[in-house]
Amino acid sequence: MRFTALDDATVVQRLRSAGIRICGMTGMSEFGLGLTGSSAGRVVETKHADVELVLDLMGESRVAAVRVGACGFKPSYGLVSRYGVIGLIPSMEAVGLLARQPRSIRTVLGCVAGADERDFSMPEEPVPGFDEEWTVPAGTRVGVIREACSGLTPEQLTGFQQGIEELRAAGCAVSEVSLPDYPLFSLVHKIVGSVEAASSTGRYDSVRYGPRAPGAKNWNEMYLGSRGAMFGTLVKSYLFQGAYFQFENYAAYEDACRIRARLLGQTQRLMQEADYLVLPCPPRGGAEEKSALEAVYAAFAETLWANVTGQPVLALPLPGSAGAVGGIQLMGPRLSDARLLALGEMVLDRRKGDR
Amino acid sequence: MEFEPVIGLEIHIELNCATKLFCDCPNNPGDEANANTCPTCLWFPGAAPRLSEQALEKAALLCLGLGAELQPRSAFDQKVYYYPDLPKGFQLSQAHLPLSRGGGIEILDEDGEPRRFRIHHIHMEEDVAKLVHEMDGRLPVSLVDFNRAGAPLVEIVTEPDFRSAHQAMEFLKVLRTQVRYVGASECSMETGTMRVDANISIRPKGTDQMNTKVEVKNMNSIRHVGDAIAYEIERQSAAVGADEAVVLHTRLWDPDKRVTVSMRGKFEGPCVPDPSVPVIELSPEWIEGIRARLPEMPAVRAERLTREHGLSADEAGMLSTDPEVAGYFEALMGAGVAAKPGLHWLTTQLLPAVKERQQELGETPVTPLRFAELLQLLAKDSINANTAREVLGEMFESAAGAAEIVAARGYAQISDRAELERVVAEVVAAQPGAVADFRSGQGKALGFLIGQVMQASGGKANPKVVRELLVGLLG
Amino acid sequence: MEIELIYTNPEKGLASEAGSNGLTVAIQPNLSTAGWPTDAVHGAG
């Protein structure tokens, strides 16, 4: 879009005033959607940075993290200001944090979280205490989602089960919980997410900024030419999908909104059976997804739940060879961010001690 | 077959807020092009909308002023369409959950009977930018002025209750008065702070079917709204009479040719809930707080003016249309001026004088207290009406009080009988002809003689006393 | 370093140092930073 930012995002402003150094920018996928062309995770893997901020639209920060054997965290929706975030799916995306240690995530999140008068959409809620020492009570209930393991390779499944054993060994009460509507998360994300993306990108019309395609004879030609040259194949198919639901199948969009509300209710009921929900986080995304939309959805099948419901979720790498088996996701209720990170710290600390 | 029209109105009103609806830019669309813009109203990457508290309050006040019911939950949607006047490919508007529902206005129908017209809902939305098409040599260029983009609007959507142009026009007049009363907008169709679209269809009289409607735009006065509706009723009746189908489309009123012209097929883009502007939740306490700020509305005020000051319904109704005039009148009453002469002098002398000097009533140096002093002098016969008019003229130029001016200029009316008897005697002696005419029964000779006495007294004689003396002397 | 970053913070003297609280953070171009590019790949467009 050839646009130079005029102002610091609130997150950037808060990093600076907290004395945190921003070393630079890493390569991302177009609009941060998916991980095609993204170098997310590399800067943390090579220890050139302690934390990397990666917009999480459907699980990008978590999948990128476990691929390099690091931790990825998506905060509760509305906890971190989106002012200055050049987003795509306003109701689902959140600034994700990627680091080798959950402790670094906690420190940085503590600096950037909290109400911002420039982001009117943030609810007025108390910020979880990131400075407090959280202990994980014995018998913390974790519920493993039965339906979420179907897409794993045998190797990934074994790794995931090892992760669950780690939780049990750490004193968690593990149970299996079921959500028969699980496949609908992907469907809802597909429809609602792409419709929002189609709206969000309406501003890239080459009228006020951005490269304008030459030779157009009227407004419509200018618009089609400029946007045609500006967007890549994946984003184009994504926006096309969204425009289809906006203009041609609005009833499906309304259904998806209703289903989303139902899934939120079902998730809340599950959160009464368990303190945290557990899902796998396979190390997908990147080269194999190319630019096919279906491949992108397949790569993030296990991670997009938390984007649909707005819950905080932490992906931890599984023990063993970094990246190959992927990770395990712990998803907590809204605003449980601080204790979720404490749980992750405990698990990784124990792992280090075992060695 | 006899047809009847079914008319609904959509009225856009630009709120007179200090800022735009979603950012802090000044709400002054007339300033130098693109002076009032920022990353938010230009929708730069990363911009986030922030709903103006003042716009919400003014819109809510307007809703309550029209008897509408504020909704505890309302929300913004994205009206999706692509045009260069829209900086983000959609317009933020409340399509699904409007700010208020219901409400209505009572007007006097053609037959003088009161009749209520219902409002379906009122919602908030943002205005779009202004396009300017120019020639750069032989190359046509289109320029965009984003000053108006994001300006706060409300849209009032009525029920299709209107059956004539007259009803629609009366409704608009009362609506304009009420919105001005609550101070939410100037409501000028000429400058575009009030814009009216009319949806018109026709059907066989006596049926209740709803036929395909035509939207008519581009009327810049209430008179034009009436003319456009009347024209469109004729046009559609003729078309249906000739077995032509009426198709859904938009027409523009051409004020010069006095016809409506087809503009385009009506395109309705989708309306998607907006995820960036939070749902607006209004608590009963907040709503009561706004209601407490509601001024007395014109109909209530007119009724009170009739009751308290003995004005006729017509006089009170006329006075109440303008809150400033009604306020001025009440201030005069408060200063002890009698109602009838107060109303008469306010409407026939002061208002034209203020207008002639291009002043606003609220800002004229002739305050109600100063004007009341003048009217008291008149009531006490200290000056006559002609002198009062002259003193009023001077009051616009000087800060002196009416009594002061009268004293300084020696304007005081002479009511002293002994002094006037002397002048009357002189005039009678000097005008034997007129005296003879009067005695032979020619009434107008008396007027002439009174005039002569007035002239001889330098305009200061009390005409009532002069008349009495003349009649006494000659009769 | 240059391999990981498509855009390096141009502020002088701090290139290899951590911030005053000891942490270094990398961001992506969709997080606005005044004067910095917003494109996925620096120099593309």
pLDDT digits (tens, 9 = 90+) for B371-422: 999 999 999 888 888 889 999 999 999 888 998 898 888 787 777 788 888 8
- Answer yes or no: do A195 and B272 touch at CB < 8 A: yes
The chain C residue lying nearest A10, using CA atoms, is C32
Q: In percent, how much of chain A has pLDDT > 90?
A: 81
For residue A12, is it left (φ>0), alpha (ψ between -120 and 50) or beta?
alpha
Contact B168, B22 (CB under 8 A): no
Strand residue runs (E) in A139-210: 141-145, 173-177
Residue A171's pLDDT band, with cuts at 50, 70 and 90, is: very high
Hey, is the C-beta of B277 within 8 angstroms of any chain A C-beta?
Answer: yes
Hey, is the C-beta of A99 within 8 angstroms of any chain C C-beta?
Answer: no
Neighbors of chain B with 3 or more C-beta pairs under 8 Å: A, C
pLDDT of A314 reads 98
pLDDT of A354 reads 65
Mutate which: C3, C23, C30, C36, vs A, most A CBs within 10 A: C30
Say how far apart CA B282 and CA B273 lie, in whole Å: 19
Residue A129's pLDDT band, with cuts at 50, 70 and 90, is: confident
Query: Which residues make Cβ contacts (< 8 Å) with residue B397, sequence separation at least 6?
Result: none
Hey, is the C-beta of A127 within 8 angstroms of any chain C C-beta?
Answer: no
The whole-model pTM stands at: 0.85
Beta bridge partners of A282: none
Say how far apart CA A88 and CA A90 lie, in whole Å: 6
**Angle, CA of B403, B404 and B405, to the nearest 5°:** 90
Q: Which residues of C touch B45 (CB under 8 A)?
A: 32, 38
Contact B272, B80 (CB under 8 A): yes
Residue B462's pLDDT band, with cuts at 50, 70 and 90, is: confident
Q: Closest Cα to residue A279, out of A178, A135, A173, A203?
A: A178
- Answer yes or no: do B48 and A83 touch at CB < 8 A: yes
Residue A110's H or E segment, with its range, is helix A102-112
- Helix (H, G, I), strand (E, B), or coil: what is residue B118? strand
Hey, is the C-beta of C2 within 8 angstroms of any chain A C-beta?
Answer: no
Say how far apart CA B176 and CA B188 lie, in whole Å: 8
Neighbors of chain C with 3 or more C-beta pairs under 8 Å: A, B
Say how far apart CA B231 and CA B235 lie, in whole Å: 6
* A181, HSE (Cβ side, Cα atoms, 13 Å): 16
Query: How many residues in chain C?
Result: 45
Tell me where in chain B the CATH 1.10.10.410 domain(s) lie. 417-474
The CATH code of the domain at B417-474 is 1.10.10.410
- Helix (H, G, I), strand (E, B), or coil: what is residue A248? helix
pLDDT of A346 reads 94
- Helix (H, G, I), strand (E, B), or coil: what is residue B197? strand
- Answer yes or no: do B48 and A118 touch at CB < 8 A: yes
Comparison of pLDDT for A288 and A52, the residue scoring more = A52
Radius of gyration of chain A (CA): 20
Residue A254's H or E segment, with its range, is helix A250-273
The chain A residue lying nearest C41, using CA atoms, is A27
- Answer yes or no: do C32 and A25 touch at CB < 8 A: no
pLDDT of C1 reads 45
- pLDDT at residue B25 tops 70: yes
State the average pLDDT for chain A: 93
The chain B residue lying nearest A2, using CA atoms, is B45
The chain C residue lying nearest A99, using CA atoms, is C25
Within 10 angstroms of residue A328's Cβ, the number of other Cβ atoms is 26
Say how far apart CA B98 and CA A317 lie, in whole Å: 48
Burial class (CB in 10 A: 0-12, 13-18, 19+), B244: exposed
| Rounded average pLDDT over A21-36 | 94
- Answer yes or no: do B48 and A201 touch at CB < 8 A: no
Q: Among partner residues A1, A83, A199, which is closest to B89 by beta-carbon distance?
A: A199
Hey, is the C-beta of C21 within 8 angstroms of any chain A C-beta?
Answer: yes
Q: Which residues of A touch C20 (CB under 8 A)?
A: 19
Q: Among partner residues C7, C21, C34, which is closest to A6 by beta-carbon distance?
A: C34
Contact A62, A71 (CB under 8 A): no
To which CATH superfamily is domain A10-179+279-354 assigned? Amidase signature (AS) domain (3.90.1300.10)
Mutate which: C27, C32, C33, C36, vs B, most B CBs within 10 A: C32
